């Protein structure tokens, strides 16, 4: 088949899905399904890049995450047989998939009060994370990610200057920093307002596809990287996010000093994803490289 079979999914989950829409046709395909008034999201995981045991660890984390009045996470929905992670046929090939409950709410506005709420919720997410989960948890190491980024862009024309900047600026800055002594634990991996919703003061997080073990500043740096798209308003919004975070968990001086480095890490992770999963024109790649070089001077 060229796409998923709604009737088969209805039988698999014991839910009579009436609505069935493709929302994201990227490397990870995301579908929105409806059953009566309930909404679900089906994630069809990319064919390469994440082994089964890493995906299983993600789902175990979401199943085990404790209930809390301030935050929530998108929890997996098992099939009738009880498994959350299943294989579906897509374009005549098996793909791993999981159905998630909808995180209800609205988009988080780019205002100081909302960003303080988001920062506080992110701190609760870190505080409430289990110490361990079953499955293989990826280690999010800044130095290793830098090497992967260099390798990923090497075949692309015009990448030499950026590769040199990674070598001369990124690696040396991280080596000279105190990132290794920053508090660590399980992180969302792609924590930003686009992967969260707010409802009655409660913030729910979804899309844990990049979750792993690393410095908590990884999530703050990723959120700050996204907030930089707000231009002149980015610094006040980042400050609001950090102040909200510290309502729950105080950041050390060493952690705050590494924020620009974790913004750079987010840039290199994005760069690697583009190189490994997307087809861009030569002009588009030059724009991507210029943006990355600018971020490495942040």
Per-residue pLDDT of the chain (298 residues; tens, 9 = 90+): 358 899 999 999 999 999 899 999 888 999 999 999 999 999 999 988 789 999 999 999 999 999 999 999 999 999 998 999 999 999 889 999 999 999 999 999 999 999 999 999 999 999 999 988 999 999 999 999 999 999 999 999 999 999 999 999 999 999 999 999 999 999 999 999 999 999 998 999 999 999 999 999 999 999 999 999 888 899 999 999 999 999 999 999 999 999 999 999 999 999 999 999 889 999 999 999 999 999 998 7
pLDDT (0 to 100) of residue 26? 82
Residue-wise over 156-189: b if at least 16 C-beta within 10 A, else e?
Answer: beebeebbebbeeebeebbeebebeebebebbbb
- Give 219's Cβ-side CA count (13 Å radius): 34
Helix (H) or strand (E) holding 205: strand 202-205
Closest CA to 41 of 94, 108, 103, 125: 103
Cα separation, 253 vs 270, whole angstroms: 27
Pair 64, 73: CB distance under 8 Å: no
Q: What's the CA gap between 199 and 112, in Å, rounded?
A: 17
Q: Find out whether 188 and 118 touch, Cβ atoms under 8 Å.
A: no
Q: How far apart are CA 34 and CA 40, in angstroms?
A: 6
SS3 state of residue 180: helix
What integer pLDDT is reported at residue 240 of this predicted model?
Answer: 98
Mean of the per-residue pLDDT values of the chain: 95
Which tens digits make up the pLDDT trace of 222-257? 999 999 988 889 999 999 999 999 999 999 999 999
pLDDT digits (tens, 9 = 90+) for 96-110: 999 999 999 999 999
The predicted pLDDT at position 2 comes to 52
With contact defined as beta carbons under 8 Å apart, do 228 and 263 qualify? yes
The pLDDT of residue 1: 39
């Amino acid at each position: 088949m060229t796409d998923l079979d709604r009737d088969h999914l209805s039988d698999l989950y014991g839910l009579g899905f009436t609505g069935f829409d493709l929302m994201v046709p990227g490397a990870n395909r995301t579908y929105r399904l409806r059953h009566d008034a309930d909404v679900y999201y089906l994630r069809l995981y990319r064919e390469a890049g994440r082994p089964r045991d890493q995906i299983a660890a993600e789902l175990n984390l979401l199943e085990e995450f404790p209930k809390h009045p301030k935050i929530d996470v998108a929890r997996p929905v098992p099939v009738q047989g009880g498994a959350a992670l299943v294989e579906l046929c897509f374009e005549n090939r098996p793909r791993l998939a999981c159905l998630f409950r909808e995180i209800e709410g609205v988009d988080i506005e780019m205002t100081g009060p909302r960003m303080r709420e988001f920062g506080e919720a992110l701190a609760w997410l870190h505080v409430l994370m289990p110490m361990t989960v079953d499955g293989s948890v990826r280690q999010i190491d800044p130095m290793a990610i830098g090497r992967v980024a260099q390798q990923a862009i090497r075949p692309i024309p015009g990448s030499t200057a950026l590769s040199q900047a990674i070598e001369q600026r990124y690696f040396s800055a991280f080596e000279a920093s105190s990132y290794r002594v920053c508090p660590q634990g399980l992180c969302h991996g792609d924590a930003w307002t686009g992967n969260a919703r707010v409802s009655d003061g409660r913030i729910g997080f979804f899309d844990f596809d990049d979750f792993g073990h690393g410095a908590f500043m990884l999530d703050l740096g990723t959120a700050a990287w996204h907030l930089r798209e707000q231009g002149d308003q980015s610094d006040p919004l980042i400050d609001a996010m950090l102040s909200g975070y510290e309502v729950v968990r105080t950041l050390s001086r060493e952690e705050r000093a590494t924020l620009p480095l974790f913004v750079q890490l987010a840039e290199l992770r994005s760069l690697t994803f583009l190189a490994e999963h997307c087809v861009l024109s030569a002009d588009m790649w030059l724009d991507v490289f210029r943006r990355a070089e600018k971020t490495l001077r942040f």
